[in-house]
Structure 1
Amino acid sequence: MTDSRELPQDPDGLTRADTEPSFQLLVLESRDIKGFLTELAVRAASRLSVPGNTIHSGVTVLRHRRPEAVAASDAAAKALDELQNGFGDGPCLTALRNRSTLLVPDLSAEKRWQPYVRTALEHGVCSILAVPLDLAGEAEAVLNLYSGRSNGFSTEDIDTVEVFASQAASSLRLILRITQLSEAREDLSAAMQSRTVIDMAIGAIMAQNRCSRDTAFSILTTASSSRNVKLREVAVSVITSISGEEKISTHFSE
């Protein structure tokens, strides 16, 4: 809904380029993904709220094909996200599936998602704006905004939220990749530590039993199978019984 020939401006006159450093800084300040998304929801709700039209904002993420409300500007927003997720359908989930902005200006005139719409109206929701976050296949998420007024979102509001979503998605992709790299590093470190401990145990068994490496490894795996204990744990117990040390240090320990 944004004209590509012009950079949209938010109500304070900030362009897309102006908002980018703010979200990049938020990446550094956020402790985790949930913290980042919560700040995104708070900023979006604060930016669009005006006297007489308080906006509630939440973020829904699709995990294992199930929607989950992971962040919100306030308790009301979280409850509204969970309400829609409970029905399994609605404007926000439709926007998420279609990967396109969806505006419902007047919920009372909406013919789709009837079971959800009736309940949402009972909760005081009159208009909804949903903007997906383009995470380039890393995950699926949507920024949901609720207003207690019909036609509670202007064209300028939509442009502002789309700018927010675009910049937030770019920063969120960075967070996801950093998280993935960190997890991969931790997995590699754990694997190397396990391999080192197992090699130490094999060496100890070879020395004690004057046997080959294959025989020592067979002894270790047999003990692991018969005790129904992980191979690394058996290896640790072997080294501990010989050295008397309860904590086994390796070259890869930090």
Structure 2
Amino acid sequence: MDALPNTADGLPGTADALSGTADALSGSAAFRDGIVSSLQDLVLQTADAEDFFKELAVFSASLLAPPGGEVICNVTVARRKRPLTIASSTPRAREMDELQYSFRDAPCLSAMRTGETVYVGDVASERRWPEYARAVAVHGVRSLLCVPLELEGDSSAALNIYSSAVLGFSVEDIARAELFGEQSAKTLRLELRLTQLRDAKEDLEAAMKSRTAIDIAVGVIMAQNRCGQATAMTILRKASNSRNIKLRDVAAGVIQSISPDPELRTHFDE
């Protein structure tokens, strides 16, 4: 947050200056509130993580474009130090992001590694990543901005914004992008947690469906062989091992031998 103007020693610090600063701070708060509301809507309205990330990239491009300008955006996530482009506002944006993976280092990779925003105002004069700069210049990129997104554990992420204009981002543009990055990182962490919970739920459902099929098959074997549950389970496991077939698939075969109804081996109520 910018400091209030210094009024000491006759420096500019009039009521008008203070009022202008207050308006700027109020504008930042309104911008932040608008971001939070929009990101919450994205989480609630998208069907899954893939849709969320896609909409996030498109929303970023529309929100962070300079007045009268146009940008393209993508989101990169690195897990166990392996970066992956998870969403792009356009196919060209994805191409620009994936291009960096062929180099040892690049602006986005640096932003994720250091946690610091990286701005390349003119790729033609870039000296930190000259090979990458020349590569994106071929595709019409003249400046770019990479904002790190703070995740959890060994994961990191960055929002990458590309412009076809030299010095395509002002100080104000960069500040807005960083504020957006701060808020979107929180939403990104939430979406990743929700994705983990959905995956865990699906895994649990699959396990319970398999368990249901196995239990039914054991009951069939008990009835056919007039044996106890433990003996029936042993028979089922031996069949699985001897045929090198998963236990649930053997169970499905046992059930199908007495009833072609597939619901018997997949029945599960939430």
For the aligned pair, the TM-score class normalised by the smaller chain equals 0.7 to 0.9
Q: Larger relative CO (CA 8 A, sep 6+): 1 or 2?
A: 1
Q: For 1:183, which of 183, 194, 199 is the aligned residue?
A: 199
Q: TM-score, normalised by structure 1?
A: 0.85
Give 3-state SS (helix, strand or coil) of 1:144's partner.
Answer: strand
Change (3 A) 1:31 1:7: farther
Change (3 A) 1:54 1:196: closer
Alignment check: 8 A CA contact 1:129 1:144 kept: yes
Alignment check: 8 A CA contact 2:80 2:155 kept: no
Give the distance between the partners of 2:139 and 2:266, measured in 1 at CA.
Answer: 58
Change (3 A) 1:7 1:218: farther
Give 3-state SS (helix, strand or coil) of 1:137's partner.
Answer: coil
Q: For each residue in 1:225-253, what CA deviation from the matched residue of structure 2 results, as whole angstroms up to 9, or x when unmatched? A: 12221111111222232345443156634
Change (3 A) 1:175 1:224: same
Counterpart in the other structure of 1:165: 181
1:41 aligns with 2:94: no
Give the distance between the partners of 2:233 and 2:125, measured in 1 at CA.
Answer: 72
Consecutive unaligned residues in structure 1, runs of 5 or more: none
Q: For each residue in 1:128-169, what CA deviation from the matched residue of structure 2 results, as whole angstroms up to 9, or x when unmatched? A: 110112222384321101122332211111111112112222
Counterpart in the other structure of 1:78: 94
Alignment check: 8 A CA contact 1:193 1:253 kept: no
How far apart are residue 83 of structure 1 and its match?
A: 1.5
Change (3 A) 1:67 1:8: farther
Give 3-state SS (helix, strand or coil) of 1:70's partner.
Answer: strand
1:56 aligns with 2:72: yes
Change (3 A) 1:136 1:110: same
Change (3 A) 1:22 1:196: same
Give the distance between the partners of 1:114 and 1:199, measured in 2 at CA.
Answer: 63
Counterpart in the other structure of 2:213: 197
Q: TM-score, normalised by structure 2?
A: 0.81
Give the distance between the partners of 2:179 and 2:144, measured in 1 at CA.
Answer: 17
Give the distance between the partners of 2:133 and 2:249, measured in 1 at CA.
Answer: 55
Counterpart in the other structure of 2:242: 226
- More off after superposition, 130-139 vs 218-227: 130-139
What is the percent sequence identity of the aligned residues? 49
Alignment check: 8 A CA contact 2:85 2:98 kept: yes
Give 3-state SS (helix, strand or coil) of 2:30's partner.
Answer: coil
Q: For each residue in 1:189-236, what CA deviation from the matched residue of structure 2 results, as whole angstroms up to 9, or x when unmatched? A: 221222222122222222222223332212111111122211111112
Amino acid in the other structure paired with 2:60: A
How many residues get paired? 253
Give 3-state SS (helix, strand or coil) of 1:248's partner.
Answer: helix
Give the distance between the partners of 2:220 and 2:108, measured in 1 at CA.
Answer: 60
Instruction: Tell me which structure has the larger Cα radius of gyration.
Output: 2
**Cα RMSD over matched residues?**
2.9
Alignment check: 8 A CA contact 1:9 1:160 kept: no
Amino acid in the other structure paired with 2:33: A
How far apart are residue 99 of structure 1 and its match?
A: 2.0
Give the distance between the partners of 1:23 and 1:178, measured in 2 at CA.
Answer: 14
How far apart are residue 53 of structure 1 and its match?
A: 4.1
How far apart are residue 181 of structure 1 and its match?
A: 1.4
Amino acid in the other structure paired with 1:39: E
Alignment check: 8 A CA contact 1:10 1:156 kept: no
Give the distance between the partners of 1:183 and 1:7, measured in 2 at CA.
Answer: 45
Counterpart in the other structure of 2:134: 118
Alignment check: 8 A CA contact 1:133 1:165 kept: yes
Q: Which structure: greater helix fraction?
A: 2
- More off after superposition, 76-85 vs 218-227: 76-85
Give the distance between the partners of 2:104 and 2:170, measured in 1 at CA.
Answer: 27
Consecutive unaligned residues in structure 2, runs of 5 or more: 5-21
Alignment check: 8 A CA contact 1:105 1:151 kept: yes
Counterpart in the other structure of 2:190: 174
